[in-house]
Structure 1
Amino acid sequence: MSATRLLVLGVVRVHRSAHGYLVRSELVGWGADEWANVKWGSIYHALRRLATEGLLTGTDSPESPGRTDYAITADGDAEFLRLLRGALTDTGPRRDLLSAGLAFLTALPRAEAIELLSRRLAALEAGRAEVEAAVGTPGSPGLPLHVNELFKLWVADIAGGIAWTRELIESLRAGEYVMADDSDTAYGLPGSAHTSGRL
Structure 2
Amino acid sequence: MSATRLLVLGVVRGYGRAHGYLIGNDLLSWGAGEWANVKWGSIYHALKQLTKDGCLTDHTTPPARTDYELTARGEAEYRRLLRDALRRPETRPDLLAAGLAMLPSLTRDEAVDLLTERLTALEARRDTARAQVRAWGEPAHVRELYGLWEHTADGGAVWTRGLIGRLREGAYPMAGEPGSPGVPGSWGVLGRAE
Shared fold, TM over 0.5: yes
Q: Secondary structure at the match of 1:91?
A: coil
Partner of 1:40: 40
**Mapped pair 1:16 → 2:11:** no
> Pick from 128, 153, 156: which aligns with 1:130?
128
Q: Secondary structure at the match of 2:67?
A: strand
Partner of 1:175: 170
2:181/2:187 contact within 8 Å kept: yes
Distance in 2, Cα, partners of 1:162 & 1:49: 35
- Listed as ranges, the matches of 1:1-199 within 5 Å are 1-62=1-62, 64-65=63-64, 67-139=65-137, 144-183=139-178, 185-195=179-189
State the Cα distance separating 1:196 from its structure 2 match: 5.4
Q: Secondary structure at the match of 1:194?
A: helix
Instruction: State the one-letter code of the partner of 1:150.
Output: L
State the Cα distance separating 1:162 from its structure 2 match: 0.4
- Runs (4+) of structure 1 exceeding 3 A deviation are none
Instruction: State the one-letter code of the partner of 1:3.
Output: A
State the Cα distance separating 1:74 from its structure 2 match: 1.2
Instruction: State the one-letter code of the partner of 1:147.
Output: V
2:36/2:98 contact within 8 Å kept: yes
What is the aligned-residue identity percentage? Answer: 55
Instruction: State the one-letter code of the partner of 1:48.
Output: K
The structure carrying a bigger helix percent of its residues is 2
Instruction: State the one-letter code of the partner of 2:134.
Output: G
Unaligned runs of 5+ residues in structure 2 are none
Distance in 2, Cα, partners of 1:132 & 1:165: 19
Instruction: State the one-letter code of the partner of 1:46.
Output: A
1:90/1:97 contact within 8 Å kept: no
Distance in 1, Cα, partners of 2:15 & 2:176: 19
Distance in 2, Cα, partners of 1:97 & 1:83: 9
Instruction: State the one-letter code of the partner of 2:28.
Output: V
Distance in 1, Cα, partners of 2:45 & 2:115: 31
State the Cα distance separating 1:175 from its structure 2 match: 0.7
1:57/1:70 contact within 8 Å kept: yes
Distance in 2, Cα, partners of 1:180 & 1:70: 22
Instruction: Give the CA RMSD over aligned residues.
Output: 1.4
Distance in 1, Cα, partners of 2:153 & 2:129: 9
2:58/2:67 contact within 8 Å kept: yes
Aligned length: 191
Instruction: State the one-letter code of the partner of 2:182.
Output: G
